[in-house]
Amino acid sequence: MIEDQPIIAAKPTMKQWGRNLKGENSWTMFKMISEFVDGFETLNQIGPCVSIFGSARTKPDHPYYRKAVEIASVLTKAGYGIITGGGPGIMEAGNKGAALSGGRSVGLNINLPHEQSHNQFIDPDKNLNFRYFFVRKVMFVKYAQAFVILPGGFGTLDELFEVLTLVQTKKITPLPIILFGTEFWGGMREWIRTVMLEKEHNISPGDMDLIPMTDDAEEVVRIINDFYEKRLSELGPNYEL
């Protein structure tokens, strides 16, 4: 019977690129490799660091800017170098706190069309520039022994959730990921608990332990020191490529 015969769909017409692709796209990988090499050769020599994330738009008179300076200062005195994105705002504050306390101050800059140029508080020999976000993210993650996440925008959220995913999926070794600013982060953390965890069951109960939250700079240091108290042998780059 006709109705029992298989229906053969017409082959769809595939979309075409709107312009001709040039062979130079294949050579892009060499630019990427050069960025990896520069990053590894520089950061391998620095030692254990803490990455500080936050908004580039935060002004020097804002309380969170001042808190970022304080956090970087106490972390430096505890023996850690500071890594930031190298730009203004919270990034500048993190580098400033490290520089004023005599610590290692690293800036991982990214070439953006409008907002970013490196701040003045980065050690000259630790000021790196990147074209590619993903290479820069590798450097943030590989050389950090902890992450301190201050209030920020989409970029800060991107960095936060990427690190959480890497820890959750065991792609990197466990490490402290600290949300600083309960007023800013409290609503998001509560949504994660009530919706993602309790209502939809999209994460495990233990995942909530990955994101402690505080308003105290000294508490940041205590969380990190407590984490590594019995893990001193784990102070090292997070993974091998």
Domain ranges of the chain: 30-176+221-228
d(C-alpha 83, C-alpha 71), whole Å: 12
- Amino acid making up residue 220: V
d(C-alpha 43, C-alpha 126), whole Å: 8
Tens-of-pLDDT digits for all 241 residues of the chain? 556 666 777 888 888 877 776 666 677 888 899 999 999 999 988 889 999 999 999 999 999 999 999 999 999 999 999 999 999 999 999 999 999 999 999 999 988 776 557 899 999 999 999 999 999 999 999 999 999 999 999 999 999 999 999 999 999 889 999 999 999 999 999 999 999 999 999 999 999 999 999 999 999 999 999 998 876 666 667 665 5
Sheet with 144-149, strands from edge to edge, namely 127-130, 105-110, 81-84, 49-53, 144-149, 177-180, 213-214
User: How would DSSP label each residue in 90-141?
Assistant: HHHHHHHHHHHTT--EEEEEE--SSS----TTS-GGGEEEES-HHHHHHHHH
Per-residue tokens: 123? 């050690």
User: Beta-strand (E) ranges in the chain?
Assistant: 49-53, 81-84, 105-110, 127-130, 144-149, 177-180, 213-214
d(C-alpha 86, C-alpha 18), whole Å: 36
Fold (topology level) of 30-176+221-228: Rossmann fold (3.40.50)
